[in-house]
């Protein structure tokens, strides 16, 4: 492989997502060539421990041949057929039924997409339709959260609360509002957890009352906020949110694109935080990232209205229920279930991972080490006892990420938080490897920035 030639072609022809492409072209992209378990190899031959599971998605780990074999067989049998015109295919039907079985309560119905973003776009249209056919066309407002992430399409980015995304392209679209989410490290640390949880949930009720419950269609949130930096809510937050939604007949949407399929310890974040969404967004872990697929799961109430009064939902994608993708998802779920990967991670790995992650919290550069199940973050700070961050955001985090990479460890940095989301199959030995490389990287970063105590 001619790495330099590929980097030149990449710079000339390939626009990367979420990247300053001029800066990237100067540095040259890293080419990844192979993966096995929790490790990937780059074109220079470096072996890297991927503590971020690709992009929060490779839950079963790399190199599972069964997934490729299932895809190849499905392609040979029937590479494509759509789900329009009264048609469908066996893996797509079987996946819908399998997901219904896996879901925590009566989320018994699936609509398939190619991604998390498309699933959230679907939810926006489906929910507005749900209220409109019940003679409530004005009940069309979605409430999301500042700093939430629900994808990059026009509706996904609008539902999300990333200011930088809203600035580009005139978002959000109309009738989408946002409230502040809980962020313990940023603004909660002095309050008892329950009280802080109630205060944060109350922001939703205040917003509903301000807008009028007859205008508010749904609330959407990530059980654990991923992209902004793994913001873990107080234990009671989601239960309080659910009560408020029920009180005002507002549909509750859990975006489980990251949380789903074992990431927070249970199969779904709604189980970890013990609440009952009406609608759930799935993607990523549904195929462990081996092939693109997203899904909207919705409950019997929504299904019943759509079935009895909905008529045609004028919405769908060429690849909704693509049989190769659904076949791979089925095989991925078979692997997760038969090998007990979610339960093993929850019971045997997550407690050890949490222990070692909290040890990293002792490092002079770390202000907080937070973790739930198999997802966590380290908040880097200039002065350890305080909760104040660096004056210029993101410089230290990005540098720490680069140093970790040079030390053979992939972590993501958001601002100055180092994010953790390893494949669920990570072993205790690999957790030790992770710890060693992370500590060394924190040390090197701290020295570079003159942090006291290193």
Provide the binding-site residues for ligand PMP, judged by CB under 6 A: 115-117, 120, 149-151, 222, 226-227, 255, 257-258, 283, 294
CA dihedral 5, 11, 14, 18 (to 10 degrees): 130
75, containing H or E segment:
helix 65-78
Q: How distant, in Å, are the alpha carbons of 59, 277, 401 from that of 333?
A: 10, 22, 32
- To ligand PMP, the closest distance from the beta carbon of 427 in angstroms equals 26
367, containing H or E segment:
strand 366-372
- To ligand PMP, the closest distance from the beta carbon of 294 in angstroms equals 6
Toward ligand PMP, which CB reaches closer, 280 or 403?
Answer: 280
Residue 293 in contact with residue 322, Cβ under 8 Å?
yes
Pair of tokens at residue 51? 């503590």
- To ligand PMP, the closest distance from the beta carbon of 283 in angstroms equals 4
- To ligand PMP, the closest distance from the beta carbon of 56 in angstroms equals 6
Toward ligand PMP, which CB reaches closer, 222 or 266?
Answer: 222
- To ligand PMP, the closest distance from the beta carbon of 43 in angstroms equals 25
- To ligand PMP, the closest distance from the beta carbon of 407 in angstroms equals 25
Toward ligand PMP, which CB reaches closer, 35 or 223?
Answer: 223
- To ligand PMP, the closest distance from the beta carbon of 248 in angstroms equals 24
Distance in angstroms (rounded) separating the CA atoms of residues 442 and 240: 37
Q: Which region, left, alpha or beta, applies to residue 246 given φ > 0 means left and ψ of -120 to 50 means alpha?
A: alpha
Toward ligand PMP, which CB reaches closer, 280 or 360?
Answer: 280
Distance in angstroms (rounded) separating the CA atoms of residues 326 and 90: 9
Residue 47 in contact with residue 408, Cβ under 8 Å?
yes
Toward ligand PMP, which CB reaches closer, 224 or 378?
Answer: 224
Pair of tokens at residue 111? 């609509």
**Which residue, chain included where needed, has tokens 């469908």?**
88
Distance in angstroms (rounded) separating the CA atoms of residues 238 and 204: 11
Toward ligand PMP, which CB reaches closer, 151 or 188?
Answer: 151
With a CB cutoff of 8 Å and minimum separation 6, the contacts of 275 are: 238, 239, 241, 242, 252, 254
Toward ligand PMP, which CB reaches closer, 37 or 226?
Answer: 226
Residues in the chain: 454
φ, ψ dihedrals at 71, nearest 5°: -65, -45
Toward ligand PMP, which CB reaches closer, 268 or 435?
Answer: 268
- To ligand PMP, the closest distance from the beta carbon of 212 in angstroms equals 28
Q: Which of 394, 424, 271, 438 is nearest to 20 (CA)?
A: 394
Residue nearest to ligand PMP (CB): 116
């Amino acid at each position: 492989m001619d790495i330099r030639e590929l980097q030149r072609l990449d710079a000339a022809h390939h626009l990367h997502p979420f990247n300053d492409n001029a800066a990237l072209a100067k540095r040259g992209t890293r080419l990844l060539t192979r993966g096995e378990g929790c490790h990937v190899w780059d074109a220079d031959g470096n072996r890297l421990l991927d503590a971020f599971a690709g992009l929060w998605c490779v839950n079963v780990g790399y190199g599972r041949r069964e997934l490729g074999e299932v895809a190849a067989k499905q392609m040979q049998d029937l590479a494509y057929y759509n789900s329009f015109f009264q048609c469908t295919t066996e893996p797509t039907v079987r996946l819908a039924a399998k997901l219904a079985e896996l879901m925590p309560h009566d989320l018994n119905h699936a609509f398939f997409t190619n991604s998390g973003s498309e699933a959230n776009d679907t939810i926006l249209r489906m929910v507005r339709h749900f209220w409109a056919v019940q003679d409530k066309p004005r009940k069309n407002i979605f409430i999301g959260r500042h700093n939430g992430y629900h994808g990059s399409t026009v509706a996904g980015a609008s539902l999300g609360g990333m200011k930088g995304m809203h600035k580009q392209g005139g978002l959000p679209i109309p009738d989408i509002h946002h409230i502040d989410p809980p962020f313990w490290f940023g603004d909660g640390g002095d309050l008892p957890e329950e009280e802080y949880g109630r205060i944060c949930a109350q922001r939703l009720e205040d917003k509903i009352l301000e807008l009028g419950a007859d205008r508010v269609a749904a609330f959407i949130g990530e059980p654990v906020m991923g992209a902004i930096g793994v913001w873990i809510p107080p234990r009671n937050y989601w239960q309080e949110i659910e009560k408020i939604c029920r009180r005002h007949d507002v549909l509750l949407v859990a975006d489980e694109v990251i949380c789903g399929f074992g990431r927070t310890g249970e199969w779904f974040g709604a189980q970890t935080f013990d609440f009952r969404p009406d609608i759930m967004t799935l993607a990523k872990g549904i195929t462990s990232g081996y092939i693109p697929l997203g899904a909207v799961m919705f409950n019997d109430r929504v299904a019943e209205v759509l079935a009895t009064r909905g008529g045609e939902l004028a919405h769908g994608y060429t690849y909704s229920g693509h049989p190769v993708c659904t076949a791979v998802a089925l095989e991925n779920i078979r692997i997760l279930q038969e090998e007990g990967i979610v339960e093993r991670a929850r019971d045997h790995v997550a407690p050890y991972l949490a222990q070692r992650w909290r040890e990293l919290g002792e490092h002079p550069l770390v202000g907080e080490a937070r973790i739930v199940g198999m997802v966590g973050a380290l908040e880097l700070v200039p002065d350890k006892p305080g909760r104040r961050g660096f004056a210029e955001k993101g410089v230290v985090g990005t540098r720490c990420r680069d140093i970790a990479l040079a030390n053979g460890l992939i972590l993501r940095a958001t601002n100055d938080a180092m994010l953790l989301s390893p494949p669920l199959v990570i072993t205790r030995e690999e957790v030790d490897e992770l710890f060693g490389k992370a500590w060394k990287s924190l040390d090197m970063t701290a020295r570079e920035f003159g942090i006291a105590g290193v």
